[in-house]
Amino acid sequence: MTPLALVALTSFVAFLIYFFLNFSNRYPRPLPPGPKPWPIIGNLPHLGPVPHHTIAALARVYGPLLHLRLGSVHVVVAASASVASQFLKTHDANFSSRPPNSGAKHIAYNYHDLVFAPYGPRWRLLRKICSVHLFSGKALDDFRHVRQEEVAVLTRALSRSGTSPLNVGQLLNVCTTNALARVMLGRRVFESDDGTGNRKSDEFKEMVVEIMVLAGVFNIGDFVPSLEWLDLQGVAAKMKKLHARFDAFLNKILEEHKVKGGGSGRHTDLLSTLLSLKEDADGEGGKLTDTEIKALLLNLFTAGTDTSSSTVEWALAELIRHPDVLARVQQELDSVVGKDRLVTESDIAQLTFLQAVMKETFRLHPSTPLSLPRIAAENCEINGFFIPKGSTLLVNVWAIARDPAVWPEPLKFRPERFLPGSEHAHVDVRGNDFELMPFGAGRRICAGMSWGLRMVLFLTATLVQAFDWVLPEGQTPENLNMEEAYGLTLQRAVPLLVHTRPRLAPHVYCATSTAQ
């Protein structure tokens, strides 16, 4: 059979599947409303280049509980806080696993990681390891000095910057990656005395961004299985190539750690603990394999670095666009901390306005605009509509945080809305308030939320305290580009380029601790 005949036969089979699903199935109650699907590919053409925007627009037409048919897959979208709470609280147990997808298959070691692993014993084991050894309150306190040392290195580098504008995102990524690597591996992965990174760190950020971009693509093969082998968008091929690069990076880390004896004696870093669990079963999950260790490291290196650095970059951009807000944050820092020392993590609790600024940044620029997908284990009913078993759930976190029914003037950057005495003073970002959930909610809430919160608050506080921020010649705060580049995480379409001007006593920038 010729390739053309194969394509024709595949298309015919796909059409039959589409016909059967659309005209043969009858459900006991109606499906949620949504736009009429196209033959075979369903509503995939409706998603556009920035899906969280277009899905939000569809929800304004059809309602906050939206149904899409992507190929042969039912997809339901929650686009309001009340609908999201139905899925992530009332029916959370039914939506605790991930649907099949090419990213988990080709990048995340075929579902052997924490992010995409099916809900069950192995997932609980990986989650427990992270919760106890990396993200518990004690672990976060024990490694506070690491975060402070790496942020101090970045601060010193920025104080010595020359006349060329700095790419803030790249520098932030070096800082967040080295801080997390020291906790995970016991060492930096990007050795650089001046804290500005090098070619290796630039390549790493490019790999992480590419993972997030590819993972955010609505791949036709995921929704029309009969077309998967064609890889019409070339996504699977790119994923396999990128996986090979990351696997080589992680293999090198594992081998170096084993050679240096990192897995013996007292466990001072996460990788040593993980390697010890290859021999000693831990609870119901059993022993770990090298593949699971690499998959977990992959999760942490991608989700734990790029999201934090991007959030801080968005925060700085908003503060530059709003000089009055920036001045108010600096005034608060000067009052609480002064100008003779750098802010510390223990100061953050007293910085009420800074915390409000970060909440507003999370609201307008959530690191994951569309939640990672979940799948319905059984049929259920939401707001009188039928949700079939096997449906994929997406929560439009971006749209919910801009809902005008909840947020007055939702497109404006107004940190005051979170100050004590204001309408949204009670709203937190830890997954209990569904109108603002940048880390998700329910059983599959981001495992690294506590680390991420500490990192972005402390990093933003330090940079705002230590420097005035000036745009390159020809740019003004009013015309600063704030366009988004869509991916699994929300990147800036145009990197933030700035000049920094130290605003503290000169000795502060020299008093940095030496990293181990």
Q: How far is residue 488's CA from residue 371's CA, in Å, rounded to a whole number?
A: 8
Q: What is the model's pLDDT at position 197?
A: 58
- Which residue carries 């944050």 as its tokens? 329
Binding-site members are 446
Ranges of each domain in the chain: 73-377+398-509
Task: Compute the distance between CA of residue 14 and CA of residue 335 in angstroms, rounded to an integer.
Answer: 66
What does each C-alpha distance from 409 to 83, 207, 299, 414 come to in angstroms? 22, 37, 36, 9
Q: How many CB atoms lie within 10 A of CB 357?
A: 28
Among the listed ranges 69-73, 191-195, 294-298, 460-464, which one has the minimum average pLDDT value? Answer: 191-195
- pTM for the whole structure: 0.91
On the question of pLDDT at 284 being above 60, the answer is no
- CATH 1.10.630.10, domain 73-377+398-509, yes or no: yes
| pLDDT tens digits, one per residue of 489-504 | 899 999 999 999 999 9
434 is written with which tokens? 């569904």
- Which residues carry a binding-site annotation for heme? 446
* Closest C-alpha to 32, from 387, 377, 399, 378: 387
If you count DSSP H runs as helices and E runs as strands, how many of each does the chain have, helices first? 18, 11
As given in the structure block, the two tokens for residue 305 are 């670095």
Please, what's the largest Cα pairwise distance for the chain? 77
Query: Do 477 and 370 contact (CB within 8 A), yes or no?
Result: no
Ramachandran region, residue 195 (left: φ > 0; alpha: ψ -120 to 50; beta: rest): left
CA 36 to chain CA centroid, Å, is 31
Percent of the chain with pLDDT over 70: 90
Q: Residue 19: CB partners within 8 Å, gap ≥ 6? A: none
Q: How far apart are CA 311 and CA 430, in angstroms?
A: 16
Q: Stretch 189-204: mean pLDDT, rounded? A: 70
Instruction: Write the pLDDT tens digit of every residue in 204-252.
Output: 888 888 998 898 899 999 999 988 999 999 999 999 999 999 999 999 9
Is 32 buried (19+), middle (13-18) or exposed (0-12) by CB count in 10 A? buried
